[in-house]
Structure 1
């Protein structure tokens, strides 16, 4: 029964310093919030009057009132003439121009006609692209056009977001381009904190893992070696180790136990990693000092460790220091 429950989780989750400047193309707009911290507002791709608000990796779209545009820096809607940043897509490209056709920065087929400083938008038919030099819709084979939407077009300068492929890295927006940055060794980027640290917090970030070595092959379920909830399933290929193990996480409020090969109550796990992960704001049991110490958690982050006074023991269930002996397996040293 234990292995069946863990395998079910595996199936569910299998569906999920300066490095250099690069172009990071836009994901599906509904998935943009996987990259940013809660409360972040992002200009909706292809629009100047709509924005996406992020919470718990979920995207919710909103529209600005009439005659207003979304300001990336202010994180709010403002009058069209009051934009504070140089959003290349939303700025008035026709300012100071009259009687001229110019290309649309977001579409090879798009064009703008500038009339007394105001832009009138249009699109070429399928199979054609706009040729600004000739002011015509030209055959797409006759003109090179490669517009790549960039995530940093949607947010303000210096904004940071996670690298979904490497927990040790993140991106920082600089002049509309994504610059890849790297945390120090053994540190991980936390999108909610906007910084690197030792506490692993991003549930969508998968730790590096190997199913043993060619000489000592691991099979079955194993801790991810970085979090209290995460584990990998190494398939049995006989004398060949699984090179693509499947990652999964125990449900919120439970930890993976290597000994039990199951997801268990945290009080039954002596996990030494971030014991605040997935536990919100509360006091939690440590795995040390015979159940006399406890951890103060705030928003899944360990803030500090404290010790009960005198001969008292900490009881996570009652969230208090008590006079009677506590012997949870996570902390009693047995």
Structure 2
């Protein structure tokens, strides 16, 4: 990119730099964002800052932390090498040119509010305009966003994260994204849910799911009834009566704590009356609960509402009310032989 504007004198330049905020972010500082890209990535994932190609971010608890700040002759952060480099070859929209533009500002191609100050032809420093402002190349200044003509494309995740790094797809608890050869792929966990913190597929009960997937044809031949969600003991979908076909977008809800949903009774019932075979520790205030294993001779150890293991009573039965193994014959619906 070539510039045909005058170079500011040194005193004016200092004022402009101060007003436009051309400062270098120190490592380990948290980036405050309205839409933080790290909201999708598991802990310790390293990405390139989508708003600043000179910065490397580490995702911690879904927030961006600046851990690499590239300057001088190596002014770009390489998402694959996870280090500072002189140039990038991945067509990431990071490439700018300071040729014939020393002492001036050039547009950041990724954002409307970003810009680069060309300290010389090989050294660019990144800056951003204040909130509600956009950078205007023609006037070499920040202008109100409502008078700006700038538009920016949707974020390309594969331009900021290394291939094969899993990250969250918030549309469904079983889904996640992964980039392969620079292309975004949507993948799903099998019989498990994606843990957005750990970046792996885990037992469904260990994920605080907000978007349970609707099983295929769940509401087929069903209308105005609740159907178990197939993932939890409390969750259910409501299948509405439709004029044609069946409800393909049923509404999910769940029973109160210490109650399980019963399709048979179309109601929330005492857990001991339910035949649900999913994690029976869910929302329970008990340390031990009966296991779904047939015979009622096994129990689950509950820790924070999640099953942490199954244990046998030997030739005895497990009494959930007494929280102990007993010789008395027990036949709960979930484990009755």
Q: Following superposition of structure 1 onto structure 2, how do residues 161-176 of structure 1 map, counting pairs within 5 Å?
A: 161-173=167-179
Which string of whole-angstrom CA distances, capped at 9 and with x for unpartnered residues, describes residues 161-197 of structure 1? 232334443112568874322345x554344553346
CA distance in 1, matches of 2:171, 2:204: 18
Larger radius of gyration: 2
Aligned residue among 73, 90, 114 for 2:118: 114
Does 1:262 pair with 2:258?
Answer: no
- For the residue of structure 1 that corresponds to 2:78, the secondary structure is coil
- For the residue of structure 2 that corresponds to 1:291, the secondary structure is coil
Which 5+ residue runs of structure 1 have no aligned equivalent?
Answer: 1-26, 63-68, 72-77
Matched with 2:78 is: 86
Which string of whole-angstrom CA distances, capped at 9 and with x for unpartnered residues, describes residues 299-326 of structure 1? 76655433212x3222344544344444
Question: Is the Cα–Cα contact under 8 Å of residues 115 and 135 in structure 2 kept in the other structure?
Answer: no
Aligned residue among 202, 208, 214 for 2:214: 208
- For the residue of structure 1 that corresponds to 2:295, the secondary structure is helix
Moved more, 218-227 or 115-124: 115-124
Question: Is the Cα–Cα contact under 8 Å of residues 280 and 298 in structure 1 kept in the other structure?
Answer: no
Matched with 2:106 is: 102
Q: Following superposition of structure 1 onto structure 2, how do residues 283-294 of structure 1 map, counting pairs within 5 Å?
A: 283-294=288-299
Which string of whole-angstrom CA distances, capped at 9 and with x for unpartnered residues, describes residues 260-300 of structure 1? 22223322211123334456995431223332112345676
Aligned residue among 57, 70, 77 for 2:66: 70
Aligned residue among 293, 312, 316 for 1:312: 316
- For the residue of structure 2 that corresponds to 1:274, the secondary structure is coil
Q: How far 1:50 moved relative to its partner?
A: 9.3
Residues 30 and 249 of structure 1: is their aligned pair in 2 closer, same or farther, counting only changes over 3 Å? farther
Matched with 1:271 is: 276
Q: How far 1:122 moved relative to its partner?
A: 5.6
Q: How far 1:230 moved relative to its partner?
A: 1.5
Aligned residue among 124, 137, 152 for 1:146: 152
CA distance in 2, matches of 1:137, 1:84: 24
CA distance in 2, matches of 1:219, 1:273: 24
CA distance in 1, matches of 2:307, 2:294: 17
Which 5+ residue runs of structure 2 have no aligned equivalent?
Answer: 1-32, 86-93
Give the structure-2-normalised TM-score.
Answer: 0.59
Question: Is the Cα–Cα contact under 8 Å of residues 110 and 129 in structure 1 kept in the other structure?
Answer: no
CA distance in 2, matches of 1:153, 1:325: 62
- For the residue of structure 2 that corresponds to 1:233, the secondary structure is strand
CA distance in 1, matches of 2:173, 2:60: 23
- For the residue of structure 2 that corresponds to 1:108, the secondary structure is coil
Matched with 1:18 is: none
Question: Is the Cα–Cα contact under 8 Å of residues 178 and 187 in structure 2 kept in the other structure?
Answer: yes
- Alignment length (residue pairs): 281
Q: How far 1:244 moved relative to its partner?
A: 2.8
CA distance in 2, matches of 1:250, 1:101: 58
- For the residue of structure 1 that corresponds to 2:272, the secondary structure is helix
- For the residue of structure 2 that corresponds to 1:267, the secondary structure is helix
CA distance in 2, matches of 1:198, 1:294: 18
